């Protein structure tokens, strides 16, 4: 993973953080993480296959 610049915060007159400026790379990583979480949530009720069983099936299929 590439190192990205630290976020910059825009604060209001009371010193509270109100906005953030991110490097494009950091923003894209956040979007990818959000997508991954969405997929995991959508698939959480699917049947799980043990890794050893999957390896056997792949080997039998010639993969």
3-state SS assignment for residue 34: helix
Q: What is the pTM of this model?
A: 0.63
Spatial separation of the C-alpha atoms in residues 26 and 12, rounded to whole Å? 23
pLDDT tens by residue, the chain, 63 residues:
567 789 999 999 999 999 999 999 999 999 999 999 999 999 999 999 999 999 999 999 998
Q: Tell which phi-psi region holds residue 45, choosing left (phi > 0), alpha (psi between -120 and 50) or beta.
A: alpha
Per-residue burial over 2-27, b = 16 or more CB atoms within 10 Å of its CB, e = otherwise: eeeeeeeeeeeeeeeeeeeeeeeebe
Alpha-carbon torsion 34, 39, 45, 50, what sign?
A: negative
pLDDT score, position 5: 83
């Amino acid at each position: 993973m590439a190192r990205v610049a630290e976020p910059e915060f825009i604060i209001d007159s009371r010193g509270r953080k109100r906005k953030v400026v991110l490097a494009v790379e950091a923003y894209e990583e956040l979007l990818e993480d959000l997508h991954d979480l969405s997929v995991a949530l959508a698939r959480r009720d699917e049947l799980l296959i043990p890794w050893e069983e999957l390896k056997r099936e792949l080997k039998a299929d010639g993969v």
